[in-house]
Structure 1
Amino acid sequence: MNQEIINLFDEYTHKPLSRNEFMKRLTKLAGGTAAAIAILPLLEVNYAHAATISENDDDLITEDITYEGDGSTMKGYFAKSKAATGKLGAVIVIHENRGLNPHIKDVTRRVAKAGYLALGIDALSPFGGTPANEDEARALFAKIEAPKNINNFLKGFDYLRSRADSNGKTACVGFCWGGGLANQLAVNSPDLKAAVAFYGRQADAVDVPKIKASLQLHYGGLDERVNAGIPAYETALKEAGKKYEIFVYDGANHAFNNDTAPTRYNAEAAKLAWERTLRLFKETL
Structure 2
Amino acid sequence: MKKDDDLAALAKAIDAVAPRRTPSANDSDLRLAPPHLPYVAENDPAIVVDHIELRRLDTSMRVYTAAPRAIRANTPGIVVVPHIWGVDATIRDIVRRFAKAGFSTVAPDLYARFDAPAGDDSCDRTLFDTFAKRIERRQADGDIRAAALRLQTRSPQGLIGIIGLSVGGRYALLQAADNNDIFTCAAPFYGSIEQITPDQIHIPVCGSYGEHDSIISADDVRFFRTLLTVPNDFRVYQTAGHDFFDDRRTAFAPAAAGDAWKRTLEFFKNHLVPQR
Same fold per TM (> 0.5)?
A: yes
Matched residues, number? 234
Distance 1:256 1:132 in 2: 17
Distance 1:129 1:158 in 2: 25
Equivalences for residues 1-285 of structure 1 within 5 A: 47-50=32-35, 52-85=39-72, 87-128=74-115, 130-131=117-118, 134=122, 135=124, 136-163=127-154, 165-191=155-181, 192-202=183-193, 204-205=195-196, 207-226=197-216, 227-237=218-228, 241-261=229-249, 263-285=250-272
Alignment correspondent of 1:38: none
Contact 1:70–1:152 (8 Å) recurs in 2: no
- Describe the superposition over 1:170-197 as per-residue Cα deviations: whole angstroms up to 9, x where unpaired: 1011111111111111111122111001
Contact 1:90–1:166 (8 Å) recurs in 2: no
Point out the structure with max Rg over C-alpha. Answer: 1
Contact 1:253–1:264 (8 Å) recurs in 2: yes
Contact 1:89–1:166 (8 Å) recurs in 2: no
Compute the displacement of 1:268 (Å): 1.3
Q: TM-score, normalised by structure 2?
A: 0.78
AA of the residue aligned to 1:273: A
Contact 1:100–1:130 (8 Å) recurs in 2: no
Contact 2:212–2:241 (8 Å) recurs in 1: yes
More helix by share: 1
Which secondary structure state, in structure 1, belongs to the residue aligned with residue 198 of structure 2? helix
- Describe the superposition over 1:201-228 as per-residue Cα deviations: whole angstroms up to 9, x where unpaired: 01635x3323222101101121143125
Which secondary structure state, in structure 2, belongs to the residue aligned with residue 120 of structure 1? strand
Distance 1:231 1:50 in 2: 30
Q: Which runs of 5+ in 2 are unaligned?
A: 1-30
Q: TM-score, normalised by structure 1?
A: 0.75
Which secondary structure state, in structure 2, belongs to the residue aligned with residue 167 of structure 1? coil
- Describe the superposition over 1:114-163 as per-residue Cα deviations: whole angstroms up to 9, x where unpaired: 10100011111122465358454432222222221222112221221122
Q: Which runs of 5+ in 1 are unaligned?
A: 1-45
Distance 2:207 2:184 in 1: 15
Backbone CA RMSD of aligned residues: 2.1
Against the structure 1 CA distance between its residues 84 and 157, is the aligned structure 2 distance closer, same or farther, given a 3 Å change threshold? closer
